[in-house]
Amino acid sequence: MVQAITQLRTWPIHLRPFVHWFMPAFQRARADVKQSRQMIRPVLAARKAQKEQAIKEKKPPRKYNDACEWMEEVAKGRPYDPSVIQLTFSFSAIHTTGDLITQVLVDLCTHPEYIEPLRQEIRTVVAEHGWTKTTIYNLALMDSFIKESQRLKPPAMVTMNRTATADIQLSEGTKLPKGSRIAVSAVNMWDPKVYPEPLNFDGYRFLKMREIPGQGNAAQFVTISPNHLAFGLGKHACPGRFFVGTEVKVALCFLLLRYDMELTDEKNSRPIMNGRTLAANVFAKIRIRRREEDVPLIPVGSF
């Protein structure tokens, strides 16, 4: 889908409603949607039959704690396309998280001097807390490294895209007619007045900020601020950032403890810019080698 949208953006806006029908990328995307419907419909039909049977038998219907059940509860009988909902979840939660993990691994291989300090932090924290949520919270260097990676390569050069629903005048006098498309630049993330040597990668940057009185919480990966807009800002900031932080840290713990890694060619390590979006370089290749982990790996069900 991302590939299809990217290709469609190269066409004039007035031709897009027509040309997408003939584009191979969109044909594949439509086939994916069709396949997803074929997969999810039997599941939902079986659940519906199960609930109806339970009601007939005057028993409480089984509750499923998953996205399918959540959407049923929110819809309250209103029609919706469950396959599109699931694909949207996949796009917003898997695509962006995968991009972040990819960029973090590329940065790790580009700056291998951080590998051993990160491993040592894992050893120290796990020895004290075991594999628990407390462990994830206390991986402060890893948290800083991920946040620095995201600072230098956010998902986009601008964020918080909005459309004015009415004529509005900003406090400094700028007038926005109804229908205006606006967004906020992420330039503060590379401003030398905000971050010293902003274009240099410093995995300790936010760890050092934590040591400044009053900035301990502001320097955490999940914290949003005008100076770090990767997750947006305000009440519409990414609600999944807490899960993302845990997910990426668990993945990094596994990879760092189990493998040695290096880039095969640094020429493909730079992010790819497409319009206002930034993506980890999908052409980057990482060579890995199995190592003997010196810390027991995460047992299933620890979190």
Find the range with the poorest average confidence among 58-62, 143-147, 226-230, 274-278: 274-278
Last residue of a domain, one of 80, 100, 117: 80
Whichever domain contains 251, its CATH number is 1.10.630.10
Which residues, 6 or more positions from 279, have their beta carbon under 8 angstroms from its beta carbon?
99, 271, 272
3-class state of residue 58 by DSSP: coil
Domain assignment present for 170: no
Say whether 238 counts as a known binding-site residue.
yes
pLDDT at 299: 62
Residues 152 and 38 in one domain: no
Residue type, 42: P
pLDDT tens digits, 3-16: 788 788 889 999 99
The beta strand positions in the chain, using DSSP E, are 158-163, 168-169, 175-176, 181-185, 259-263, 272-274, 277-279, 286-290
Residues 136, 209 within the same domain: yes
202 and 102, same domain (yes or no) = yes
Tell me, yes or no, whether 168 lies in a domain.
no
**Long-range CB contacts (< 8 A, 24+ apart) of 207-216?**
207/140, 207/141, 207/143, 207/144, 210/140, 210/144
pTM, two decimals, is 0.81
Q: What is the pLDDT of residue 302?
A: 55
Mean predicted confidence (pLDDT) in 202-224: 92
End position of a domain, from candidates 80, 102, 122: 80
Residue 278, φ and ψ in degrees, nearest 5:
-125, 135
Domain final residue pick, 11, 46, 80: 80
Percent of the chain with pLDDT over 70: 98
- Tell me, yes or no, whether 171 lies in a domain: no
| Strand 168-169 with 175-176, pairing | antiparallel
What residues make up the domain containing 292? 88-163+176-302
Does residue 141 share a domain with residue 65?
no
Based on the fold, state whether residues 72 and 209 are members of the same structural domain. Answer: no
- pLDDT score of 230: 94
Residue (of 91, 41, 47) closest to 65 by Cα position: 47
Would you say residue 225 has pLDDT above 90?
yes
Assess whether 23 and 146 both reside in one domain: no
Looking at the domain assignment, is residue 21 inside a domain? yes
Whether pLDDT at 300 is above 60: no
